[in-house]
Chains A and B, each alone.
Chain A
């Protein structure tokens, strides 16, 4: 067997993809199904990064495992595809080492909230400066459409074939009550509003969270006979209600019911490194050199 790996360079094309700046074109085509909502969400992130005018050398993206977990692999940033549920603590370590960088976690509902749930609440509690974008398709898509902690009661999945009977998590409530300083929810239909929220979230110091309700056409839609991804987008159009500042306690998502979207939390609270510095300054005074300048070394 040859020891060298053949590098399949993508053929040079005349026309530029409008997102070429941010996409790894040598990894396109991606694996997502047509009318999947993940791609739209990535577009919103790309728009946000573009509008923020950030130095993309200083932006890192991390994902866990799942269909959404593949996002990190398609973005032309320092990008980390970690293990299932663990992108947040990996991101936390990276953030501490490089506080000068923007750290974005982009993953699925199962990944972030089920297996990674403990990391999610604790990193929110610490108010570590990072942005977590969660594509909530109400299901474990990558593994074939099993029930998730977000699956609405009565919705069917591959492992709730008679309808889910558990209470799902309300993600903005979970994030807000855990300590997130910025919390918003949109659907994959609200692409400009979503991009704007992602922009605000990235700019916000501290733990910011954006939930994106997005169609999984292949599994969630099919198993629940909801049509295609397009039909779900139409459903979002007809059933989502923008309520900025709504009480996160009152925005549960029931099966095929109204989806309340908007920005729910936008508060100021010192992020982790600021607390770390203040705590040590209080004790050591001038002997303590504040952490976090430049590339994080001091």
Chain B
């Protein structure tokens, strides 16, 4: 370091290590920054600090059901969505129909989880920019969702709630009322968030025109989810490739519009998440109306499931983007191969492309705006 100062201008660059124990790298991400003053010349993400061999573990399990708890632990802030993708994949392998009620409950859970995940993502993004208070306000709301989940599944974070062909257990009797209640109380909070953070001028100045991701680059990097939609591309697997019963619901796909700066900047990605929460509320309301009150939560399947030999790829829309499971079966009771396509990993790879010439503070904003979860990046 002393070199960098005293070399009288010959070496103007300074390499600095951001993470793995940095407050705003969302876990254990390490970024290698090459700085000129505070301007970032080059950024290189180093990953793998949280690698837990998800794929290898999945091959080791002697039952398809035993993989589900491990999918929870990939993206631990949206465990329901991870499970949903996996059970859908296995069910499609088995060519199984699940009861109506199960589908509805799954959709409600997945959408609640999407809201919870966005709440965390938005809050942490604000935290990265120095706004501590909105983070905790959002956590109060997230806590309410977790309470509903806890009552239904018994766990607060890693639910293992969806099972192949159904659910591990039925929801509690007050489930519908509680969810409806939450929907009602949550709407005003979005308004409050808009006032406190989204349209706060300082926040806008920190995020608009920063980390601009043109739609072309986004597509080239295979971005998906809010990151792609923030660049103005209307792409949502719930609409474009409907799975489960998403084709029954009426909702919009919010996209970024470059309202505050240029299209595809951090603010656009942020506001897409905020608007998506409203759409999720709409889906939940419709699902609550359509959900049958009585019914089984488990289709009849053999104790040990042995799918036909073959392979398939099933993709779902997780809060972070396209979450895909590629499963190969060799007709035994344990999967031959399970590969997860994790959106966070894909999005993190774009970081060098969109953060050239940014300041350190912008790097923090960009990392926050692509909303990665390191558990999913490293798996």
Q: Does A associate with B in a complex?
A: no
Interface, chain B (partner A; CB < 8 A):
none
Interface, chain A (partner B; CB < 8 A):
none
